[in-house]
Amino acid sequence: MKDQPTPHDLDGNPVTPGLPMAMLAEITHRCPLACPYCSNPVELTRAAQELPAEDWGRVFREAAELGVLQVHISGGEPGARRDLAQIVGHARDAGLYVNLITSGIGITRDRLEELDRAGVDHVQLSLQGIRPDMADRISGHPGSWDKKMGFADWVTQIGFPLTINAVVHRQNMERLPDMIALAERLGARRIEVATVQFHGWADLNRAALMPTRDQAGFARQVVNDARLRLRGRMVIDYVPADHHAVYPKACMGGWGSTGLNVAPDGSVLPCHAAQSIGWMRFDNVRDRSLGEIWHHSDAFNAFRGTEWMAEPCRSCERKTVDFGGCRCQAMALAGDARATDPVCSKSPLHAQVVARAEQDADRTEFVYRRMKKGG
């Protein structure tokens, strides 16, 4: 496919993009934790390159004009920015629903109250394990467990709705029932159980994190049982282990269809791992409005419609169901972002990818996420 600004379907009809509903604002890559499953790029953005709070204000206004209803303020750890309350205030002023995604480390109770006044509507807290030893080992941060439990108490005392984020992988998957029970005890209304996605730092740690086929089946059963038991009390969102599935996930609900990410330096990405596609160029909110980027940038238009697809997706009945899977996973596993996601059973690389996943059980030590010195 040649790069073209207007995407088409396979009948040659131009495809008009829909409007994004949610935006992920990664306001910093700085983070006190060092989780090996982090999907941030291995080359992390330094503090000096971060977009200032006033620019975030303009971006939030442009997002609201574009149709965005909800902003997920994330990182890294958003609490690493001293001007977080100011950034949150800008999002509130733009009329967005503000979800704060945090590790809970480095945000004091006073600061959480300030964030409440500034306009945070909802808090999403990440948990790395269900015991201090496990949580501290996976996060690479001694004492993280105690701090997180204290933070979760403040969240419920102040009255924020709480979602727990639980990334599951080979080294904690068998504790998933306890993780769900912990979310219940903490008063969460929702838990996001996400099997690790192998982008960024997680890809460096593939051999230590890849779940086994049996674990993937176990997790599916645990989630199904818990959904029945907790119906009406707690919602369970689930991202399954796609290496052991028949078809890939519809990543981002389809490229450039409902969501967008703004990276700490202002680059606008169709998904959080898009920078792994080496040939792709990303526009920046410092140079163009969010609306122009959404509608007209080459990056967003690259995988809209179906004309870009290769076989077997091109003639597959699921091409408008899963959109050929994840472009970044195709890049990582097939070396070609336009290829069928190799976790799909119809991909010619599928058997190889599954065999590799099954061999990937030989390592337990982690490469921890760290910013190079001087960040």
Binding residues for [4Fe-4S] cluster: 31, 35, 38
Instruction: Give 58 or 338: the residue with its C-beta nearer to ligand SF4.
Output: 338
Instruction: Give 204 or 316: the residue with its C-beta nearer to ligand SF4.
Output: 316
| Residue 350 beta carbon to ligand SF4: minimum distance, rounded to whole angstroms | 9
Return the residue of 216, 219, 251, 299 that touches ligand FES, per CB under 6 A.
251
Based on the shown chain and the rule CB under 6 A, indicate whether residue 327 belongs to the binding site for ligand FES. Answer: yes
Return the residue of 273, 302, 343, 344 that touches ligand FES, per CB under 6 A.
273
DSSP string, 122-149: EEEEEE--SSHHHHHHHHT-TTHHHHHH
| Residue 15 beta carbon to ligand SF4: minimum distance, rounded to whole angstroms | 16
H/E run at residue 235: strand 235-239
Structure tokens at 76: 């890294």
Instruction: Give 74 or 340: the residue with its C-beta nearer to ligand SF4.
Output: 340
Pairing of strands 97-102, 70-74: parallel
d(C-alpha 94, C-alpha 91), whole Å = 5
| Residue 269 beta carbon to ligand FES: minimum distance, rounded to whole angstroms | 8
Based on the shown chain and the rule CB under 6 A, indicate whether residue 324 belongs to the binding site for ligand SF4. Answer: yes
Counting Cα atoms < 13 Å in the Cβ hemisphere of 304 gives 26
Structure tokens at 117: 């006044």
Cβ-based neighbours of 13, under 8 Å, separated by 6 or more: none
Q: For ligand FES, which stretch binds (CB under 6 A), given 101-109, 131-139, 178-186, 325-333?
A: 325-333
Q: Residues 260, 30, 278, 252: is their CA dihedral positive or negative?
A: negative
Return the residue of 36, 129, 211, 248 that touches ligand SF4, per CB under 6 A.
248
Identify whether the C-beta of residue 88 lies closer than 8 Å to the C-beta of residue 98.
Answer: yes
Based on the shown chain and the rule CB under 6 A, indicate whether residue 96 belongs to the binding site for ligand FES. Answer: no
Based on the shown chain and the rule CB under 6 A, indicate whether residue 338 belongs to the binding site for ligand SF4. Answer: no
| Residue 5 beta carbon to ligand SF4: minimum distance, rounded to whole angstroms | 24
Cβ-based neighbours of 85, under 8 Å, separated by 6 or more: 111, 114, 115, 117, 118
Give the position of tokens 């199904």.
Answer: 224
The distance between the two most distant Cα atoms of the chain, rounded to a whole number of Å, is 58
Based on the shown chain and the rule CB under 6 A, indicate whether residue 328 belongs to the binding site for ligand FES. Answer: yes
- Residue with the CB atom nearest ligand SF4 in the bound state: 316
First vs last Cα of the chain: how many Å apart? 38
Based on the shown chain and the rule CB under 6 A, indicate whether residue 312 belongs to the binding site for ligand SF4. Answer: yes
315: amino acid identity, one letter: S
Partner that binds at residue 318, options ligand SF4, ligand FES, none, CB closer than 5 to 8 Å by kind: ligand SF4
Name the site residues for ligand SF4 (rule: CB under 6 A).
247-248, 312-313, 316, 318-319, 322, 324-325, 340-341, 344, 346
Query: Interface residues with ligand FES (CB under 6 A)?
Result: 199, 251-252, 271, 273-274, 326-328
